[in-house]
A = this chain, B = another copy of it.
Amino acid sequence: MLTPPSEAAQAGLAQPLLAPQSVAIVGQSNDAAKTAGRPLKYLRQAGYGGRIYPINAHRETVLGERAWPSLAALPEAPDHVYIVTSTEAAVEAVEECGRLGVKIATVLADGFTEAGAAGLAHVARLRAVTAHSGLRIVGPSSLGVVNLRAKVMLTANAAFDEHPLPVGRIFAASHSGGMIGALLSRGAARGIAFAGLVSVGNEVDLSLGEICAATLADPAIAGYMLFLESLRHADALRAFALAAAQCDKPILAYKLGRSLEARDLAVSHTGALAGEDDVAEAFFTDCGIARVDTLDALIEGLPLLERVPMAKIAARLPRVGVVTTTAGGATMAVDPLAMRGVGIEPPSAETLARLAAAGIAVKPARLIDLTLAGTRYESMKAALDVLVTAPEFDLVLAVVGSSARFHSDLAVKPIIDCAGSAKPIAAYLVPDAPTALAALSQAGVPNFRTPEACADAIAAALRRRAPRLLAAPVQSAGSRKGTWLDELETYGLLDRLGIARAPAIAIEADVTHAPALPFPYPVAVKALAAGIAHKTDIGGVALGVFDQNGLLAAIRQIRANVAERRPGTAVDRVLVQPMVSGLGEVLIGYRVDCDVGPIVMVAVGGVFTEIYRDRSLRLAPVDLSIAHEMIAQVRGLATLGGYRGGPAGDLAALAQAIVALSRLAVMEGPTVLEAEINPLIVRPAPLGVVAVDALVKLIV
């Protein structure tokens, strides 16, 4: 996990995959209206220049061409074979591809990872082929591979049935086969065109990340558009993202699964496990992948992403300057921008003075509203000239009202005339204005159809960071088993990490006289046994014990409670600690996630953690600046920052504890699968933080 795919494995992949000299269609139908009839029709329609071998065991000809009876009967081993038969025949065809030395087989059929035991048996047969031959497989459940420049149309997607198709500089990869048709056609309607598109299917061999990585050397590809159903093969995706960042090729992703319901569907649809969405979000952030929430932003966002440089780390919230001829229309974009944490601030005094000097009368408000100045070329041009050189803005958004529909010379042309400025400009036209939009696209000005897609893409672009180079990779937990440490052992680990924790001593549970304690009463008393995750729920904790008699009573009560509520768990020892109080309670956690590997988390402690899902995650390890950023992301932690004039908690110490916990990812010694400090008491600065309970699970 998180290791880059072998370069040797990548070498030579791009050519047979995307620019094959020869292709075969196994199962090509004679009926071009059928799914299995489409590939040959599309290849001919597009004018593919390589050799095409339609294979149909039951016919002499298909669609008027010679049909071959089998792969074995061909005069050569084709570079790339698209198998459009049903499942069982597809497995046999893959096996034949392996025997014949075919380089790539793309498989349309379903009935594999999502199809229970029978499906997994099919998968095993495919894997046996790739293990023992040079064959690489795309799919199964792949609607195909398309290279529009080379006219390679190995697809059965119904939306590709037109000619000519526009050729562009974007490479699209999708878990959903249907979506390659949606991206192609919706893009075409907006002047957004593709170099290639691939439906990666269930990725039993080649993963989405590997396929995209194989195209990175292609200078004709400027950026990547990903449609993800879940976060699978995150290691390859991460390796691709890092390499793409080095080539300065942006990646824009849409991922299903914000809701539990959608994650459920991903499971039943593909058989993949769907991890929590904010884990995926953290992964994208740390990989420099911009993520959008709307389909339109996915389709329209790359031109903007290409123009917005990746930040190393956000020193402050990104800020957008908005100039408009329609305040109401512009506010439609401001609302979703602000909800996404992008600042819409008034211009600086200096910028206002420069606007005034340019003859633009505006109020010192969050919008540069040209209503008073009038919808004229000169006003918009002068305002843009000032804004693109105003240092307080990271990006300028121009919103044009009704004039854009028939009079683009007034307020759209000035945007086009500023297209060359160093600062990114985005445009949103409030009316339906296809001509003006096309002119903006032609001039290279990123533009958006809806205020929501506009805000979504701007926020994604401004939030994107350079990918972090993580320290030594750690293997994913997968399904490996773990073993719990008891609390005292856990504290030993915290001591190694340098995370302050409450003093603790263990006492035999059958004592008849309370021993002297190395700290004063009142104390907390807890059952001490590995694997009791929710001690409180089974009566395993007594708090605020005031004296020796109380201590003995507490021990008796804890033993009785646990015996009753968790029969079979013996409480031989208890842990005694001083009571610790502070300004608030925080949960910090670490785990080796099954998708993305080691992650670290900070969240509000207590009962609301689960209800509000108010937490921040990152790939581990993190440094102090990222830890502070995580703290700032958790809304509930605002109460610890000197809320309403109250004392401020020691957030510096909290950040240090997050960093320390995240170092489990690179620590020598036994591999920690999971660690949770809950609660970590945050005291007023500079008194630090103190762990008062913790759980750790080691790999077996």
Contacts and interface: CB of A to CB of B under 8 A. Distances in A.
A189 B432 CA distance: 7
Interface in A151-197: 157-162, 174-179, 181-182, 184-186, 188-189
A438 to B, nearest CB: 14
A260 interface: yes
B334 A262 contact: yes
A405 B294 CA distance: 21
A175 B328 contact: yes
Nearest to A411: B158
Contacts of A607: 639, 643
A612 interface: yes
A44 interface: no
Interface residues of A, number: 89
Nearest to A156: B402
A189 B189 CA distance: 13
Given A329-B176, A402-B158, A636-B608, A182 B265 contact: no
A451 B176 CA distance: 15
A266 B268 CA distance: 46
B430 A256 contact: no
A314 to B, nearest CB: 18
A458 interface: no
A499 to B, nearest CB: 26
Contacts of A337: 261
Contact of A450 (B157, B256, B294): B294
A326 to B, nearest CB: 3
Contact of A452 (B33, B158, B294): B294
A307 B403 CA distance: 35
Given A176-B326, A431-B182, A335 B639 contact: no
Contacts of A82: none
A432 B401 contact: no
A644 interface: yes
A631 to B, nearest CB: 14
A264 B366 contact: yes
B158 A407 contact: yes
A580 interface: no
Contacts of A182: 329, 401-402, 430-432
A158 B403 contact: yes
Interface string A365-408: 11101011001000000000000000000000000011101110
Given A335-B257, A338-B260, A638-B611, A432 B188 contact: yes
Contact of A331 (B266, B335, B344, B433): B266
A194 to B, nearest CB: 14
Interface in A258-293: 258-262, 264-266, 268-269, 293
A468 interface: no
Contacts of A407: 33, 158
Contacts of A162: 406
Contact of A261 (B178, B344, B371, B638): B344
A100 interface: no
B179 A259 contact: no
B365 A265 contact: yes
Contacts of A261: 334-335, 337-338, 344, 366
A324 to B, nearest CB: 9
A227 interface: yes
B365 A431 contact: no
A450 to B, nearest CB: 6
Contacts of A406: 158-159, 161-162
Nearest to A270: B327
Contact of A402 (B110, B178, B371, B433): B178
A327 B265 contact: yes
Contacts of A186: 431-432
Contact of A430 (B178, B371, B401, B643): B178
A296 interface: yes
A369 B269 contact: yes
Interface in A331-345: 331-332, 334-339, 344
Nearest to A264: B366
A181 B260 contact: no
Given A158-B375, A185-B402, 13 more contacts: A176-B327, A178-B328, A179-B326, A186-B431, A261-B334, A262-B334, A265-B331, A269-B331, A294-B452, A296-B452, A450-B450, A607-B639, A611-B635
7 contacts: A33-B407, A158-B375, A176-B328, A258-B336, A262-B338, A295-B450, A295-B452
